[in-house]
Amino acid sequence: MLETETSAAILDLDRVVRRFDARSTPAVNGVSLTLAEGELLALLGPSGCGKTTLLRTIAGLEMPDAGRVILAGQVVAEAGGPSVPPERRKLGMVFQDYALFPHLTVQQNVAFGLTKLRKQAPAIARERVIEALELVGLTGLEKRYPHELSGGQQQRVALARALAPKPTLVLLDEPLSNLDAQVRRRLRQEIRQILKAAGASGVLVTHDREEAMAIADRVAVMREGRLEQLDSPEVLYWQPASRFVASFVAQVNFLPAWRRGDGWMTEVGPYLGEVVQPIQPAADGQESGEFCLRQDDCDLVPDGAGGAIILDRQFLGREYGYTVRLESGRLLQVTTGIETAIAPQTPVRLQIVAPRLQWFPAVHPEGGAIAATPLEMAAS
């Protein structure tokens, strides 16, 4: 008999570790987090960061090498202990490739898990299928086959199938990655609305920061198997806990800065505004580091003696996006309002207009040198 925990949470991960080779770094390395009932969580990070392995461990497709997985107060997996198999964890799964049966209709696909796996009575199964299809906006398409549907409709069938059994937790593995950009933007909002309307709790895996921030209530940023930061989308964007989170989530520029008197000096001039220290502060007395510059934190002023030059300009609808090369060769990405249109190869001067900037120490707390961003490597 598996242990039952007293907990109001739908999901608890307690120092979970999963490794595939005893000599290599764990794919998941000591991850702990809690998911409340009705909450949507995104696991966000680059390829190879461990997010999919963590999702598979929650689902029961991987066993933890250390730590525990607790679902609705029940320990369903523990290193060295018994494990509840995936089909008994009351989970709904939405896959990247939809995994629909091509020879079954929409109605039959949604009903499959109810009748074949959970042995629901036919009348109850029919009622749940109707409810699920209405929830995802596919009423009237019950008799169609998957090949008669668009990609977005197929994904909604997969979501309806996952929700029909009223699972404890819905797991979504890169559910929108096979769709084109326009459909993806529309569906990410639909997915959030559908899950919230169903009162479902969910864990979403994605490498797309916009997708994570649009769908999830909280986002867990992962890096090399570890949890780098877990916060709301707003906190992640405005208060990144590390240089990695700032770069990956907010797609910022990094500009060297050093203290001078009551202010700070940078390559583009002095800065006298508020400076926010990172959550993990630098060593006492450290006075050199980098400012985290968002793309709209600077104004561009044409100036023959400015020292910077416009390399490229892109029209982005309501704004222009510029690639600017500083005198040192460092590249910055800057956006301005549509009223500012500066031609490529124009010399410019940058003015920092942000009233507050976040500052990171020149060296990570672990003591290693800061890795260059792709733009910085291109500039070197």
Segment-wise mean pLDDT, segments of 10 residues, the chain, 380 residues: 62 96 89 97 96 97 96 94 92 90 94 70 86 94 95 93 93 90 89 94 96 96 96 94 91 90 89 78 65 94 94 95 96 93 96 93 51 36
């500009």: which residue's tokens?
255
Q: Distance between CA 371 and CA 195 in Å, rounded?
A: 38
Find out whether 224 and 29 touch, Cβ atoms under 8 Å: yes
What are the residue ranges of helices labelled H in 26-143?
51-59, 106-112, 122-135
Q: Residue 90 contacts by C-beta under 8 Å, 6 or more apart in sequence?
A: 71, 72, 165, 167, 168, 169
H or E stretch covering 185: helix 181-198
Token couple for 246 = 């700032």
Angle at which helix 122-135 crosses helix 181-198, to 10 degrees, equals: 130
What is the pLDDT at residue 42? 98
Contact indicator for 61, 86 with CB cutoff of 8 Å: yes
DSSP classification of residue 378:
H
Q: What share of the chain is helix, strand, coil (3-state, %, to 5)?
A: 25, 35, 40
Tokens 């919230």 locate to 196
Rounded-to-integer distance, Cα 200 and Cα 224, Å: 29
Is residue 292 within 8 A of residue 359, CB to CB? The reply is yes
At residue 118, the pLDDT reads 54
Q: Work out whether strand 274-276 and strand 308-315 pair parallel, antiparallel, or are unpaired.
A: unpaired
Q: How many residues does the chain have?
A: 380
Contact yes or no for 377/312 (Cβ under 8 A) = no
The distance of Cα 220 from the centroid of its chain, to the nearest Å, equals: 7
pLDDT at residue 333, rounded to an integer: 96
CA pair distance 162, 169, nearest whole angstrom: 10
What pLDDT is recorded for position 285? 54
- Pairing between β-strand 202-206 and β-strand 169-173 as defined by DSSP bridges: parallel
Quote the pLDDT of residue 119: 63
- Per-residue pLDDT tens over the stretch 152-201: 999 999 999 999 999 999 999 999 988 888 888 889 999 999 999 999 99
Residue 211: its pLDDT value, please?
95
Report residue 13 as tokens: 């991960």
**H/E run at residue 248:** helix 243-250
What is the DSSP track for 277-340? PPSSPPPTT--EEEEEE-TTSEEEEE-TTSSEEEEEEEE-SSEEEEEEE-TTS-EEEEEEETT-
3-state secondary structure (DSSP) of residue 109: helix
Instruction: Identify residue 12 by its one-letter amino acid code.
Output: D
Type of residue found at 327? E
- Predicted model pTM: 0.86
What six digits make up the tokens of 157? 């069938």
Q: What is the pLDDT, as a whole number, of residue 24?
A: 82
Distances (CA, A) of 209 to 198, 205, 232, 289, 362: 24, 11, 12, 26, 26
The angle at the Cα of 236, spanning 330 to 45, to the nearest 5 degrees, equals 75
pLDDT at 115: 67
